[in-house]
Structure 1
Amino acid sequence: MKNLLKSVVVASGVLLAANTASAQQKIGHINTAEIVQSTPEFQAAEAQMKTLSETKQKELQGMYAEYQKKQNDANEKLRNRSEANKESVDAEVQQIANSMREMETRIQDVQRVAQEDIGKKQQELYAPIEQKVFTAINAVAQEKGYAYVLDVSNGGIPYFGGGDDLTADIKKKLGISATATPAKK
């Protein structure tokens, strides 16, 4: 009877340990930034964003150059002003100053619109990439039976000491070579 009781206790302990072990949930981690930056779509989006930014910058530089020219014209007129032409020069300088104020407003408007355009384009280009990556993350996590997948790229995890790195698996799911490196900024 004593042996039977010991056997039941040992068997219960083994079953309890097995249940505890199976109740533990798998935790994995990924580097989303690395994955996103490794996609060909991201690199194409970066090229488009660079082109758009350069175009907007050139437009603004042209406006700044025109503004600077007007400012130089006004300064030159003031330098060459004499008592004889004071009234006419002052009137011309006033017209230039008014023109410059209007130009400042246009420059500010163009800067604001450029920032809005760039923001919209970023959203348009990057949102589908992020969605594709998150879909792959969910698929890999489900295929491999992970209950939690932590993203270590954003610095929101103050301590990280374990779990399985699924970054290569996600890249594989997306058809990206595991050795592909993120785009340089």
Structure 2
Amino acid sequence: MNLVKIFRLTLAAALLTAGTLVATSAQAQAPLKIGYTDVQYVLAQMPESKQIESDLKAYNTQLEAQLKSKYAEYQSKGEQYQKGEATMTDVVKADKQKELQSLQQSIQEFQRSAEQSLQQKQQTLLKPALDKLQKNIDAVADENGFTYVFNSDTGGSPLLLHAPESGNISDLVLKKMGITPGAAAPVKSGPASPVSTPAPAAGKTKTKTK
């Protein structure tokens, strides 16, 4: 499994509802002031990100172990079938083939459910970090008089196409959380790849939230 891909999906899931909008009643009558932040840039520097990555890796390892166990069973029975096929009656042969097909389907279904399970795990692990980030974006926006804050994330389709650097509140958000801004580059989003063991072919012994 490619851990980078997993973490990319984790960060991609953190786009805080297509550009975070922040407004308060006190700002309603104030001059319009627009700011922006790169969500991935901020998340990549939060200490929680390392723990999330570690937990996802451990969870994915569990899924891979289960898949490999299923695959080993399928492969073992497939080899037994091939060795004894010549001496089997048609009834026994048909029964063994049906068993192998059932195991193959079980492996394929497990792969699908494993991917969904990993995505759910990502969302669960990510929620506290997202809530913390949202709270600090709100606080920075209020303290600095920003009526709206957009997400300038460069992965995918950013909502902000042009803006002065003076409107970038990313480092202010990091400082608000007690994090010294670094040079960490935003992690591009990408698809998750929870389990890499290929599914066997039939009849063969192969597998914003706020």
Q: TM-score band, normalised by the shorter chain?
A: 0.7 to 0.9
Secondary structure, counterpart of 1:178 in structure 2:
coil
1:63 paired residue number? 70
Other-structure match for 1:26: 33
Residue 115 (structure 1) shift: 2.9
The TM-score normalised by the length of structure 2 is 0.65
Look up the SS of the partner of 1:150 in the other structure: strand
SS at structure 2 position matched to 1:146: coil
Residue range with higher mean Cα deviation, 95-104 or 154-163: 154-163
Q: Deviations over 1:52-94 (max 9, x none)?
A: 112101211221122122223323334xx2xxx4xx3544432
- Equivalent residue for 1:35, pick from 29, 38, 42: 42
- Per-residue displacement from partner, 1:73-119 (whole Å, max 9, x unpaired)? 323334xx2xxx4xx35444323212212212332443344234323
Q: How far apart in 1 are the matches of 2:47 and 2:120? A: 20
The letter of the residue matching 2:54 is A
**Which residue matches 2:101?**
101
Where in structure 1 are there 5+ consecutive unaligned residues? 1-21
- Partner-residue secondary structure (3-state), 1:64: helix
1:156/1:50 Cα in 2 relative to 1: closer, same or farther (>3 Å)? same
**Cα distance in 2, alignment partners of residues 40 and 182 from structure 1:** 15
- Structure 2, unaligned stretches of length 5 or more? 1-28, 189-210
Deviations 1:27-72 (A, max 9, x none): 2221011111211112101110111112101211221122122223
Which deviates more from structure 2 when the two are superposed, residues 69-78 or residues 44-53?
69-78
Corresponding residue number in structure 2 for 1:75? 82
Number of matched residues?
157
Show the counterpart of 1:17. none
Look up the match of 2:192: none
Q: Identity rate of aligned residues, in percent?
A: 26
* Alignment map for 1:114-133 (pairs within 5 Å): 114-133=114-133
C-alpha contact 1:35 1:182 (8 A) present in aligned 2: no
Other-structure match for 2:140:
140
Supply the distance in 2 between the matched residues of 1:158 and 1:165 (Cα, whole angstroms): 11
Bigger CA radius of gyration = 1
| C-alpha distance in 1 between matches for 2:83 and 2:39 | 57
- Cα distance in structure 2, aligned partners of 1:96 and 1:144: 71
Partners of 1:107 and 1:166 lie apart in 2 by 47
Per the alignment, residue 165 of structure 1 pairs with 168
| Paired residue type of 1:164 | G
Partner of 1:53: 60
Q: 1:33 to 1:136 in 2, by over 3 A?
A: same
- Normalising by structure 1, we get a TM-score of 0.72
**Structure 1 CA distance, aligned partners of 2:83 and 2:124?**
47
- For residues 165 and 135 of structure 1, the distance between their equivalents in structure 2, rounded to whole angstroms, comes to 17
